[in-house]
Amino acid sequence: MNNTGNLLLVDDELNLLLSMEELLNLHGYNTTAAHGGVAALPLLDSQHFDLVILDLNMPGVTGHDVLRHIKENQYNVTVIVVSGETSFEAVSEALKLGAYDYLRKPYAPDGLLTTIRNAVSKSQLEAQNKVIQDKLSDSERLHRYIVEHSPDMIYMLDEQGCFTYLNDRTTVLLGYDAENLIGTPITKLVHKDDLEGIDELLHLDSSTDFISKVLRLKTSDGLIRFFDFELSPIQLNSNNGIATLFSGQQRSSGVFGVARDITARVKAEETINFQAYHDLLTNLPNRGLFEDRIDMVIAQAKRNDQKFGLMFLDLDRFKLVNDTLGHTLGDLMLQAIAQRLQSCVREGDTLARFGGDEFTLLLPQLHGEDDAILVAEKIRAALKKPFSIEGHELYTSVSIGIALYPQDGTNLRELIAHADTAMYAIKQRGKDGYQLYQSELDNSSPDRIVLEHDLRRALDGEEFALQYQPQVDLITGKMSGIEALIRWDHPKQGRLMPMDFIDIAEQSGMVVPIGKWVIEKAIQDWVVWKNEGIHISRVAVNISSLQISQPTFADEIIELLDCYSMPAHYLEIEITESLLMADTTQVVEKLRKLSDHGIGIAIDDFGTGYSSLSYLQKFPLRTLKIDRTFIEEIENKDVDAYLVNAIVSIAKGLNLELVAEGVENWAQLEYLRSRGCDKVQGYLFSKAVDADEIERIVRAEANSSYLEKAEA
């Protein structure tokens, strides 16, 4: 078969169009170029083409429009799509509209030429076969020529299912010598799982026009290829060995068939199907497949009176990785997390990525809640181990909500909603844990969608307020500073604490404008105290990782200080320890710029984020704050709290000021003072109070110290 068919090239990218035309002309093809779909339509209406090479994404008239035009006008032309558009919908629509094949840009020239050769041969073969059908007796030589040069495997089988004829294409497609396969049963080549379909192929009669069936054949090198078999019954002429089409009422003595290699198409369909039901980043089932699996498990559980569990998993503080290290590294960490989660589940369980940093886990055939708890504990333990990603040692934890069928729900919507509610309860309690769903949780947790909506108007409605908790110097007994703590006076739910809404603020991005308001409000209050003769030596403000990821973060703080004429050394910003592990140049540069300006940098909740001394040394720190969970270990003065001792030693070794949070009794205070802790804050001295109460506290210090009050 020659390759001089008339080809129409359609593309809106002129450079690509000209380069393709040059390539095909070089290989002997007759080509006509159309710059875009608009130019292609009149050419199709006025000329005959054997083949159209068509782009999809074109302005005005798209590739899909051109395909529809060809189909509506019944033009006898083969279309090969060559496009950068790879979405499932676009590819599927093109194939439905009659596209012969689909190549992705950028294409390999050899691949394009091979596809074009096959397509041109197909087009010419179909045209010539029509002529041959009309003049069969006079065109046997031409018929044999076409058969031997067909891109498909052409064969005949006798009534025992053995090959009596095979064209040379068989050698190319399967690797066997065609002549050596004569007399061999076709069953020797068919994959064992497809053998049941062979009987239908071997027992065709006059009532059968032809049948089509996809079978897998084994190649000479042990691989498997997919073929679309089209077969018709024939009668073998024993005198001359020539097969004629079966007719009349006689029974067939064999079959004639064409087998087209559709391996590439099947693999493409498998890929498209996989992508439709799986998350492309982690290769886990996506939400759609997960919901299908739940429907199946619910039906099975109803039929067999079984229980099963559904878990909703949300990674804690994962947004910090994306905000500080970038989404590329965040994606790598998500892949590592998915692999570690997968190692924790049983065969038959379904772990899916629900979206973002959320996962769901389906646990069929549970005996009770204890089985689900064991899996939750296994997952928590697995994720506590560090992740080594691109030279960074990263940590995460997970909040897990658990719902059980049937007591927590009997359908998909109820189970997911209740598992999500249980997960959110863990988030409210400080994250890193698991919670079985209980009906009481529905009343204790505000609806997050409504709360997020309210949060967006809270700033404009002046619903936020600041309270301040004093920090006490353990040598002088006087207030050495204060920490600013945000409160939300919700118009319906009353005063909400940070744990009730900060997570939602971070997830929605509202933490950035809220955080800026907190800084400015704290500076304004300091200026008011100063003008009234009240000296506050330090105001500490908590900073979100999302805030510090903003390009203008450091400049905005410095501008606020200049605007209100507040000396920088009176302000201290508190960052979480987990931010230390986001070891990026941008974060260090911003903090160093603030430190060089005189602003203090403190690490809040130190001891909970697994940071190392090397991280501490890289950042311009002034203060470490011991997390309250370690202070709770100090029950009396005889207890030796090893973690507290270690943190004190770290602070002293690095010449950092040490502040202990959550001090609630005299025994804790004495222990911290004996170990050399510099400052403390907690209910032993004062809860967080309004700004006017701070003024009263400072004036009262003239008569007695905090230590005297606590001892009293």
Tens digits of per-residue pLDDT, 569-602? 999 999 887 666 555 677 888 899 999 999 999 9
Residue 403 corresponds to which amino acid? A
| Residue 558 located in a structural domain | yes
Mean pLDDT of the chain, nearest integer: 83
Element spanning 362, H or E: strand 358-366
Contacts of 329 by beta carbon, 8 Å cutoff, 6+ apart: 321, 389, 390, 392
Say if residue 439 is in the same domain as residue 454: no
| Residue 435 located in a structural domain | yes
Tens digits of per-residue pLDDT, 326-335? 788 889 999 9
Percent of the chain surpassing pLDDT 90: 33
Tens digits of per-residue pLDDT, 151-167? 888 888 887 888 888 88
| Residue 138 located in a structural domain | no
Give the pLDDT confidence score for residue 634 in this predicted structure: 77
Alpha helix ranges (H) inside 189-326: 198-202, 263-277, 287-304, 319-325
Give the pLDDT confidence score for residue 197 in this predicted structure: 66
Boundary residue ending a domain (203, 237, 268):
268
Across residues 439-453, what is the average pLDDT?
67
Say if residue 288 is in the same domain as residue 388: yes
Helix (H, G, I), strand (E, B) or coil at 310: strand
pLDDT class of 614 with cuts at 50, 70, 90: low
* CATH classification of the domain holding 696: 3.20.20.450
Is residue 246 predicted with pLDDT exceeding 70?
no
Boundary residue ending a domain (240, 268, 296):
268
Structure token pair of residue 259 = 């087998």
Best CA proximity match to 217, nearest among 263, 161, 157, 167: 263
| Residue 275 located in a structural domain | no
Is residue 3 predicted with pLDDT exceeding 70?
no
Rg over alpha carbons for the chain, rounded to the nearest Å, is 37
Higher pLDDT, 215 or 467: 467
Say if residue 405 is in the same domain as residue 472: no
| Residue 710 located in a structural domain | no
Instruction: State the Cα–Cα distance between residues 221 and 156, nearest whole angstrom.
Output: 24
Across residues 629-655, what is the average pLDDT?
74
Say if residue 458 is in the same domain as residue 436: no
Looking up tokens 């809270």 gives 458
Instruction: State the Cα–Cα distance between residues 688 and 486, nearest whole angstrom.
Output: 10
Least confident of 87-91, 118-122, 231-235, 349-353: 231-235
Tens digits of per-residue pLDDT, 410-422? 888 889 889 988 9
Across residues 490-511, what is the average pLDDT?
85
Cis ω before 106 (30° cut-off from 0): yes
Is residue 622 predicted with pLDDT exceeding 50?
yes
Helix (H, G, I), strand (E, B) or coil at 699: helix
Give the pLDDT confidence score for residue 513 in this predicted structure: 92
Instruction: State the Cα–Cα distance between residues 124 and 142, nearest whole angstrom.
Output: 13
Say if residue 493 is in the same domain as residue 638: yes
Phi, psi at residue 241, to the nearest 5°?
75, 10
Best CA proximity match to 477, nearest among 663, 711, 692: 711
Structure token pair of residue 578 = 């987990």
Give the pLDDT confidence score for residue 431 in this predicted structure: 81
Q: Is 86 in contact with 104 (CB distance < 8 Å)?
A: yes
Say if residue 595 is in the same domain as residue 494: yes
Across residues 296-314, what is the average pLDDT?
91
Say if residue 470 is in the same domain as residue 615: yes
Is residue 13 predicted with pLDDT exceeding 60?
yes
- Residues 359/360/361/367 CA torsion (nearest 10 deg): 140
Element spanning 16, H or E: helix 14-26
* CATH classification of the domain holding 122: 3.40.50.2300
Say if residue 430 is in the same domain as residue 550: no
Say if residue 328 is in the same domain as residue 418: yes
Q: Is 266 in contact with 217 (CB distance < 8 Å)?
A: no
Instruction: State the Cα–Cα distance between residues 90 and 406, nearest whole angstrom.
Output: 41
Give whole-number Cα distances, 637 to 627, 661, 673, in Å. Answer: 19, 17, 11
pLDDT class of 239 with cuts at 50, 70, 90: very low
Contacts of 171 by beta carbon, 8 Å cutoff, 6+ apart: 177, 178
| Residue 276 located in a structural domain | no
Boundary residue ending a domain (80, 104, 133):
133
* CATH classification of the domain holding 241: 3.30.450.20
- Residues 190/192/194/196 CA torsion (nearest 10 deg): 110
| Residue 560 located in a structural domain | yes
Higher pLDDT, 634 or 210: 634
Phi, psi at residue 482, to the nearest 5°?
-140, 155
Give the pLDDT confidence score for residue 134 in this predicted structure: 65
DSSP state of 164: E
Instruction: Among 310-314, 475-479, 637-641, name the most confident range.
Output: 310-314
Across residues 664-686, what is the average pLDDT?
88
Give the pLDDT confidence score for residue 464 in this predicted structure: 94
pLDDT class of 711 with cuts at 50, 70, 90: low
Give the pLDDT confidence score for residue 330 in this predicted structure: 87
Contacts of 563 by beta carbon, 8 Å cutoff, 6+ apart: none
Give the pLDDT confidence score for residue 335 in this predicted structure: 93
What domain range includes position 36?
A: 6-133
DSSP state of 411: S
Element spanning 375, H or E: helix 369-384
Instruction: State the Cα–Cα distance between residues 309 and 436, nearest whole angstrom.
Output: 10
Give the pLDDT confidence score for residue 151 in this predicted structure: 82
The total domain count for the chain is 4
Tens digits of per-residue pLDDT, 50-90? 899 999 999 999 999 999 999 999 998 899 999 988 888 88
Least confident of 85-94, 321-330, 474-483, 595-604: 321-330
Phi, psi at residue 254, to the nearest 5°?
175, -175
Residue 494, beta-bridge partner list? 490
pLDDT class of 235 with cuts at 50, 70, 90: low
Say if residue 215 is in the same domain as residue 329: no
Is residue 251 predicted with pLDDT exceeding 50?
no
* CATH classification of the domain holding 406: 3.30.70.270
Say if residue 75 is in the same domain as residue 200: no
| Residue 22 located in a structural domain | yes
Residue 9, beta-bridge partner list? 33, 53
Instruction: State the Cα–Cα distance between residues 207 and 204, nearest whole angstrom.
Output: 8
Give the pLDDT confidence score for residue 47 in this predicted structure: 92
Instruction: State the Cα–Cα distance between residues 313 and 223, nearest whole angstrom.
Output: 41
Exposure class string for 486-507: b at 16+ Cβ within 10 A, else e: bbbebeeeeebeeebbbbbbbb
Looking up tokens 């044999």 gives 144
Our measurement of the distance from residue 160's CA atom to the centroid of its chain's CA atoms, rounded to an integer in Å, reads 53
Q: Is 365 in contact with 308 (CB distance < 8 Å)?
A: yes
Say if residue 640 is in the same domain as residue 524: yes
